[in-house]
């Protein structure tokens, strides 16, 4: 896995616009099933990921207030493009947005969380 310097990362999602300050992507997860049975060896629990549900990690963006933020509940494709041209796309729901933080003499910031629905695409 390559390491990226955050300068030059771009994000697109519907009508979203503004100055992006920070992008975080949570880990993908799998709901491993407990398959422990009476003959499990050495009294240790056993788990299986066969036919288990997977969840792509959510995206969280921190941006300066003042751009265009789609309505909470909007579903669209989110694409994060790295400085080297690599990207990740997924259908996502804007799960939370609208709160803000402002410090005296500083620009106001806002945080948005996008919940992925389905498998992400890596390019």
φ, ψ dihedrals at 99, nearest 5°: -70, 165
pTM above 0.95, yes or no: no
Note the Cα 116 to chain centre separation in Å: 7
Q: What is the pLDDT of residue 69?
A: 87
CA distances to 30, 54, 57, 71 from 10, rounded to whole Å, are: 28, 26, 18, 20
Query: Cα(76)–Cα(12) distance, rounded to whole angstroms?
Result: 10
Q: Which residues of the chain have pLDDT under 50?
A: 1-5
The residues spanned by each domain of the chain are 10-25+54-122
C-beta of residue 103 within 8 angstroms of C-beta of residue 57: no
């Amino acid at each position: 896995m390559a390491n990226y310097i955050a300068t030059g990362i771009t994000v697109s999602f519907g009508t979203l616009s503004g100055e992006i300050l920070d992008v975080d992507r949570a880990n993908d997860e799998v709901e491993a099933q407990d398959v422990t049975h009476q003959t499990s060896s050495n009294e240790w629990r056993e788990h299986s990921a066969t036919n288990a549900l997977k969840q792509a990690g959510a995206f969280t963006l921190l941006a300066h207030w003042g751009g265009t933020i789609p309505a909470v509940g909007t579903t669209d494709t989110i694409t994060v493009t790295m400085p080297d041209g690599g990207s990740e796309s997924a259908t996502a729901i804007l799960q939370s947005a609208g709160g803000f933080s402002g410090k005296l003499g500083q620009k106001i910031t806002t945080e948005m969380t996008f919940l992925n629905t389905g498998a992400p695409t890596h390019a």
